[in-house]
Structure 1
Amino acid sequence: MTLLTSMTGYGRAENKLAKGVVVVEMKSVNHRYGEVAMRFARPFMSLEEEIRHFVIEKISRGRVEIFLHLSESLLHRSRRVYVDEGVLEVALGLLKRVSKEASVDFDPPSTGDLLAISGLFVTDEAFSLQDDLVEVILLTARQSLEALVAMRRKEGERLHSYLWERLLSMRHLTQQLMGRTKISMEQYRHQLTKRVKQTIAVTSEEENRIAFEVALVAERIAVDEELMRLTSHIQQFDALLQANEEPVGRKMDFLLQEMHREINTTGAKCTDSVMTELVLQAKHVLEQMREQVQNIE
């Protein structure tokens, strides 16, 4: 049996250290392709590539967002303040030029004057990551990924049961349509023949000719081929539910599009109210299935 995997899920892991706590959260949503998005602060950007690598090994479709939270006490932070010599040189040069052009001697700039110069004093903040903290972050990320994958698979089990039930309904409706087709065609031939005879006088020699023409017209609304293809698509979908392969979401979505195409053609051709009702029910079931298949990896 195929182990369906949902594209939506959530995982969280937490590890405590002597100086604080490391928490990694992951959530995934539907996406046509596989995408990993991380919102890490600058000190941890160096870890993103490694985390992205082991995430895409486990998840092939869906957008995964990863969040890292940890206590500030775990960071080794250093700050320094220095003078931007380039800004100072420009400022003093301007002062000398104005003094020379105005023939005015200015007092040397005071500390307050220097502080007023924008960008003269620069504050630089640096973070350093200890090796043990890096290891804990990566471990927590893997644990969060395991929780996310487990939730996606659990949701996949629910989707499998749901799709299996709807596929049984679809198979039953198709069988009813196939059984009704012969009755509907006979009724249509009878009604068409009756209308022709009511419209024009028909001699006994023309009876066979009319029967032949009616058969040709009735053939245009036959849905045997559509229902045969629909049955084939149902069998293929059943095989995907039974096979031990993944991911299968795209294949299932394609088959449902083809089923929808065949059932639409059947609905456009049928002239029988019973068949029309069966087609409407089948469309409803297919819409339910397709809505859920959009969530399968």
Structure 2
Amino acid sequence: MMLYESPHLRGYLMESMTGFGRAETAGDGFTVTVEAKSLNHRSLSVSLKLPEVISALEPEVRKTVGGMFDRGRIRLDASVELSGDSGSRVSVNMETASLYIAAAELLSKDNECVGGISAGELLNLPGVAARTEPSMLDRKELTAAFRGAISRALAELRENRRREGAALEPLFREGFSNIRELTTPVLAQQKETVAERYERLKIRISDLLDDSRLDEDRMMQELALLADRSDVTEEVQRLLCHLDYAVEIVDSDDGPVGRKLEFLIQEMHREMNTMGAKVDDPEQSLKVIEMKNILSSLKEQAANIE
């Protein structure tokens, strides 16, 4: 059985990949502490640090984390502080200690050395001191305490990730809306007909060349081609489609959206690059640069979304 029910069974909220969760559980003679941290990562990476007494829980904990999160570098540290008679104790093997003492006295006598062996030195010798683990009853109690603390720490981590994700949602909506508004003046420049552009370009070229040297039909073809090459209508339309889909993704509750947003932002950037290469009007160029600046900020935020 998993420690915590998968959130994907109950719908999805946008989550950041950074967060922190902590939980403690106090028992009879012990306190367990669990800390869960999450950072950005392209996939799910789980690192666990569990005390020996609950090492058998590792597969269960990994399964739980995999059910709760889809992306992020997640580290979970669990520790226990024992006190009183219920904790681990150190026992001394007096028989082995006596053998060491006798050997030390013999060595000292045979070699005419002064002094014997100290208690501290004796405890560090093999077989003298041993740590006794908690009883089976203690293990069961500790395991139950760790399960509860792990569940609460992971739940707090997820809640913090969701809280940060919720704070990012309006930033995405505002950014996409601002980009959409910037397409209006860019698209307005495309209202001129090809014929009007042709006439404008023809006048400019005629000022530089002798009209007698111009082939009217050939010049019309070339200028029409130039005018068409500077038309960014198709790029703007594709960009608007990407923006519509991006807003749908932000509003979606079907699952993690980070990778989808990253892909769409990449596609938007491609369209903006093409627009920037095509436009020859300074005002249009400035609008495209503004779009790119907004998109760059959104790209950084999308990299932090699950």
TM-score by length of 2: 0.78
1:130-182 superposed Cα distances (whole Å, 9 cap, x missing partner): 20111011111101111111111111111111101111111111233222233
Q: Which residue of 1 aligns with 2:131?
A: 125
Q: Per-residue deviation at 1:119? A: 6.8
Matches within 5 A, 1:28-177: 28-73=38-83, 76-79=87-90, 123-128=129-134, 129-177=138-186
**In 1, Cα distance between the equivalents of 2:192 and 2:130?**
85
Q: Which residue of 1 aligns with 2:235?
A: 226
SS at 1:130's partner residue? Answer: helix
**In 2, Cα distance between the equivalents of 1:32 and 1:142?**
24
**In 1, Cα distance between the equivalents of 2:302 and 2:92?**
57
1:168-222 superposed Cα distances (whole Å, 9 cap, x missing partner): 111111233222233497775444212321233326x954543332111222222
Structure 1 residue 275 corresponds to structure 2 residue 284: yes
**Matched positions, count:** 283
SS at 1:56's partner residue? Answer: helix
- 1:266 aligned partner, one-letter code: M
C-alpha contact 1:10 1:27 (8 A) present in aligned 2: yes
**In 2, Cα distance between the equivalents of 1:53 and 1:290?**
31
Q: Name the CA shift for 1:187/1:40 in 2 (closer, same or farther; >3 Å).
A: farther
- 2:269 aligned partner, one-letter code: H
- 2:287 aligned partner, one-letter code: L
Q: Per-residue deviation at 1:61? A: 0.5
Please point out which of 3, 15, 23 is paired with 2:13: 3
**In 2, Cα distance between the equivalents of 1:160 and 1:2?**
13
**In 2, Cα distance between the equivalents of 1:166 and 1:41?**
46
**In 1, Cα distance between the equivalents of 2:77 and 2:259?**
28
**In 1, Cα distance between the equivalents of 2:243 and 2:18?**
26
**In 2, Cα distance between the equivalents of 1:184 and 1:69?**
73
Q: Which residue of 1 aligns with 2:32?
A: 22
**In 1, Cα distance between the equivalents of 2:185 and 2:37?**
43
C-alpha contact 1:184 1:272 (8 A) present in aligned 2: no
**In 2, Cα distance between the equivalents of 1:120 and 1:15?**
35
Q: Which runs of 5+ in 2 are unaligned?
A: 1-10, 100-109
- 245-254 vs 231-240, greater mean Cα deviation: 231-240
- 1:268 aligned partner, one-letter code: A
SS at 1:253's partner residue? Answer: helix
- 1:286 aligned partner, one-letter code: L
Please point out which of 158, 178, 181 is paired with 2:187: 178
C-alpha contact 1:22 1:69 (8 A) present in aligned 2: yes
- 183-192 vs 167-176, greater mean Cα deviation: 183-192
C-alpha contact 2:23 2:153 (8 A) present in aligned 1: yes
**In 2, Cα distance between the equivalents of 1:121 and 1:291?**
58
SS at 2:88's partner residue? Answer: strand
SS at 1:244's partner residue? Answer: coil
Coordinate RMSD, CA, aligned: 3.6
TM-score by length of 1: 0.81
- 68-77 vs 212-221, greater mean Cα deviation: 68-77
Q: Name the CA shift for 1:186/1:158 in 2 (closer, same or farther; >3 Å).
A: farther
**In 2, Cα distance between the equivalents of 1:263 and 1:220?**
15
Q: Which residue of 1 aligns with 2:295?
A: 286
**In 2, Cα distance between the equivalents of 1:79 and 1:44?**
20
